[in-house]
A and B are shown apart, each in its own frame.
Chain A
């Protein structure tokens, strides 16, 4: 018979993505049998992170202080606010080295059929953030999915009446993309959203 604390550990490990009963059992035995130090570290790190990580009051991303380093940095352009769905999306935007403004991380998206609306997403906090008197432009960098579009539409309707410029990142053929290998959906949309060339 499995001792109850071992049982509880196996059950707890199953909350991880991609971990079923078998893998959970393997992980638990590994930690207890071969790597008790590792288990201690894992436990401590988990507890520590849980206690110290919270949401930045300005951009809503994960941070250890009230306001994250990026939001507090004087080098960033305070007039631009880029809205992304997840912290991973924010990292992607940072990797472009093309953006110097600030961010707002939604931690989700509007998905009507899943019952996730503006209230569930806490869009009122974004409204308060965008109306700090300094932000002039809000850049929508939500995903190009129906849900991302719905989220973008909602934010636009929310911010426009307050005189904030709302822009959307462009979509189309990727850089270095050869038409031969671009999927038809992307190409069709790129064609629909073609723009006038200026000499």
Chain B
């Protein structure tokens, strides 16, 4: 890989890990370089210029240099305009970050997804009570799968016939909707069409779309249980 120097790249911190005594490894999602790992030297020193800056969910401009798997962070600048996430929205933000960490390959640029992520954080930060809009979340999940090349087939079933509103389908990976007799894990044709049109006005669509997305994500995550989901469940069990 070429030794490179990147200046003022729009990016978000996804997660940080302590490294040695005073440094941090930063997992970041950058606009033009995708998911990258950066070493922030001395970032945990009490008077470090980037301490408190390398925080998830805040728009930053990062500059780095180096080659190989871990690059060296040279500079970080706060961009602003994004309120800190609170409440449910904060846990939802963690969920997005965990998805990106697990699903995005390293150094694979996804400019459109970056914009979606940025908009999604904006909408999460907008509600002062930290409520999460489920439709927004579904749209983001759909866009994420699309960007990763796992786009969903929602209008036609596996036999090539258009999806019917009143019929029931099981969504099979790689095949798309397979027509079913009612029962089991089946979703309504209506839900598939609504998801295709990103229309979430029907409450049953919202419930079924959530379950469908959950099973799809579980498949693409290769069976790894998301820590954020586990913790969110514990929160709801209160």
User: Bound complex: CA of A185 vs CA of B15, how far in Å?
Assistant: 19
Beyond A146-B56, A185-B78, whether A113 also contacts B227 by CB under 8 A is yes
Are A115 and B227 in contact, CB atoms less than 8 angstroms apart?
yes
Of A1-9, A101-109, A129-137, A153-161, the stretch lying at the interface with chain B is: A153-161
**Is B84 in the interface zone, CB < 8 Å from A?**
yes
User: Bound complex: CA of A114 vs CA of B27, how far in Å?
Assistant: 13
Residues of B in contact (CB 8 Å), total: 33
- Contacting B98 at CB < 8 Å: which of A110, A113, A188? A113
User: Bound complex: CA of A118 vs CA of B236, how far in Å?
Assistant: 12
**Is A37 in the interface zone, CB < 8 Å from B?**
no
CB 8 Å contact bits of A138-155 with B (1 = contact, 0 = none): 000000011001100110
- Which DSSP category, helix, strand, loop or mixed, fits chain A's interface? helix
**Which bucket holds chain A's interface residue count?**
20 to 34
CB 8 Å contact bits of B58-92 with A (1 = contact, 0 = none): 10000000000000000000101001111100110
User: Bound complex: CA of A186 vs CA of B16, how far in Å?
Assistant: 21
Minimum CB distance partner of B57 in chain A: A146
Are A149 and B227 in contact, CB atoms less than 8 angstroms apart?
no
User: Bound complex: CA of A65 vs CA of B234, how far in Å?
Assistant: 33
> Which of chain A's residues have a CB closer than 8 A to the CB of B87?
153
Beyond A112-B227, A117-B230, A146-B57, whether A154 also contacts B235 by CB under 8 A is yes
Are B78 and A183 in contact, CB atoms less than 8 angstroms apart?
yes
**Is B217 in the interface zone, CB < 8 Å from A?**
no
> Which of chain B's residues have a CB closer than 8 A to the CB of A112?
91, 94-95, 98, 227-228, 231-232
A interface, CB within 8 angstroms of B: 17-18, 110, 112-115, 117-119, 145-146, 149-150, 153-154, 157-158, 161, 183-185, 188-189, 192
Known contacts A149-B84, A153-B91, then 16 further A-B pairs from the complex at CB < 8 Å, ordered by chain A residue? A17-B21, A18-B20, A112-B98, A112-B228, A113-B15, A113-B94, A113-B97, A113-B101, A117-B230, A118-B231, A146-B56, A146-B94, A153-B86, A158-B238, A185-B58, A185-B80
B interface, CB within 8 angstroms of A: 15, 20-21, 52-53, 55-58, 78, 80, 83-87, 90-91, 93-95, 97-98, 101, 130, 227-228, 230-232, 234-235, 238
